[in-house]
Amino acid sequence: MREKTVADVLAPAELGPVRLRNRVLKAATYEKRARRGLVTDELIDFHVRHAAGGVGMTTVAYCAVSPEGRTDGHQIVWRDEAVPGLRRLTEAVHAEGAAISAQVGHAGPVADSTKTKLPALGPSPSLSLQSLRRVRAATSGDIDRVVQAHGDAAKMAVATGFDAVEVHLGHNYLASSFLSPKLNKRKDSYGGSLANRARLALRIMRAVRDAVGGRIAILAKLNMDDGVPGGFWLDEAIEVARWLEADGTVDAVEMTAGSSLLNPMYLFKGDAPVREFASVMREPVRTGVKLVGSRFLREYPYQDGYLLDDARQVRAAVDLPMVLLGGVTNRQVMDTAMQEGFQFVAMGRALLREPDLINRIAADPATRSLCNHNNRCMVTIFTGSRCVLVPETQPPTDSR
């Protein structure tokens, strides 16, 4: 049964087997601070800043389970060479009193094959609009390999001192693209019915649970709505959340939305930085973004707690601990989340803007976030993610 009393978001809490100093998670915001797939001092500094700023747990963004699943050539891939750096990273965060989670996944059709030099994988063949390269349909051998790779990555997360793994089941990355009726046209046991489209996600979660047992916490970041006509939608997401609960493979679910492939702004809401986005693209993509970018990067009105209406419906359907994400920026939204039965909140942009926001909210609950949702930080994922309004967090010198 879910807790009946309303939790204090800033008091310690259990997430699976892990005790956190509070219920605030730093959401994964791709840092672009790894180099040749390895941890750098800049990546450690980034997370130490967030840990020192008061979050209960910080999340190392997207680390790929296999080389073709990267969105960037320098991205961390789980492998032996990465172990010493990952250990330094977890130790540095622990020294600040915070826990640390690793986001693991396979980018599938969102992978950038111009950077990985490997064909991207999807449920069905397609052309990637971002890389203008072919996306190959995953064979059953690919699927088995990717499932196994998630388990291996999770084992490595345990060995390197992480407190949790967050498995990426959203944004039309590989598992999410299989869930999507729009992207998944397969005729085998991975396509068609929801049970078939969800098979990859459920197998991945099973592999992760089998790999880590109860040693660290397991979260799943699952889409509720791709924001695309004919895409994965809330009623199906509720069913998948129920299956995850029945399988016992997750300690908490974090509901998200949108498609990095087809409708990226849907997951952020707020301004669409079309001009800034075009300026960091190579030709011919740059011209394409200038011409039709506003159709790809669409503006949606922002409001605090903008995923709450949908997430509340998932909340009503499962007893699993849940993380509320999307426009959590102040104590009021956090308290609403707790009142609505969410056990944790996750924050992305507000913490990029002010990494010490949680300490400041703890000192003064009336503290308001300075993030204005202009979303220009989205564009900095190509050079070193940061809030463009914060001059002291300039990009790492060797980020290209």
Ligand X SMILES: Cc1cc2nc3c(=O)[nH]c(=O)nc-3n(C[C@H](O)[C@H](O)[C@H](O)COP(=O)(O)O)c2cc1C
CA angle 320, 222, 55 (to 5 degrees): 70
Report the residue number whose CB is nearest to ligand X.
348
Report phi then psi at 82, rounded to 5. -80, -10
Give Cα 388 distance to the centre of its chain: 21
Tell me whether residue 170 or residue 355 sits nearer to ligand SF4 (CB atom).
355
Does the footprint of ligand X cover residue 325 (CB under 6 A)?
Answer: yes
CB of 192 to ligand X, least distance (A): 27
Q: Is 300 a catalytic residue?
A: no
Those residues with Cβ within 8 angstroms of residue 123's Cβ, 6 or more apart along the chain or in another chain: 108, 137, 138, 177, 178, 180, 183, 184, 185, 186, 190, 191
Q: Return the range that interacts with ligand X (CB under 6 A); candidates 11-19, 85-93, 375-383, 392-400.
A: 375-383
CB of 213 to ligand X, least distance (A): 25
CB of 373 to ligand SF4, least distance (A): 5
CB of 131 to ligand X, least distance (A): 17
Give Cα 157 distance to the centre of its chain: 16
Instruction: Map residue 285 onto helix, strand or coil.
Output: helix
Single out the catalytic residue among 173, 266, 302, 306: 173
The CA-atom distances, in angstroms, between 360 and each of 286, 354, 355, 366 are 40, 10, 10, 9
Tell me whether residue 61 or residue 146 sits nearer to ligand X (CB atom).
61
Tell me whether residue 185 or residue 376 sits nearer to ligand SF4 (CB atom).
376
Among positions 294, 313, 374, 383, the unique one binding ligand SF4 when judged by CB under 6 A: 374
Binds 55, which of ligand X, ligand SF4, none (CB < 5 to 8 A, cut-off by type)?
none
Among positions 50, 136, 168, 209, the unique one binding ligand X when judged by CB under 6 A: 168
Among positions 183, 349, 357, 381, the unique one binding ligand SF4 when judged by CB under 6 A: 349
> Using CA atoms, how far apart are residues 363 and 150, in angstroms rounded to an integer?
40
Buried b (16+ CB within 10 A) or exposed e, 160-180: bbbbbbbbbbbbbbbbbbbbb
Binds 180, which of ligand SF4, ligand X, none (CB < 5 to 8 A, cut-off by type)?
none
Per-residue mark of binding to ligand SF4, 379-398 (x: CB under 6 A): --------xxx---------
> Using CA atoms, how far apart are residues 343 and 322, in angstroms rounded to an integer?
6
CB atoms within 10 A of CB 89: 27
Give residue 124's region: left, alpha or beta (phi > 0; psi -120 to 50).
beta
Does the footprint of ligand SF4 cover residue 315 (CB under 6 A)?
Answer: no
Tell me whether residue 234 or residue 389 sits nearer to ligand SF4 (CB atom).
389
CB of 257 to ligand SF4, least distance (A): 17
Q: Which residues bind ligand SF4 (CB under 6 A)?
A: 349, 352-353, 371-377, 387-389
Interacting residue ranges for ligand X, rule: CB under 6 A: 27-30, 61-62, 103, 168, 221, 256, 267-268, 325-328, 347-350, 377-378, 381, 385
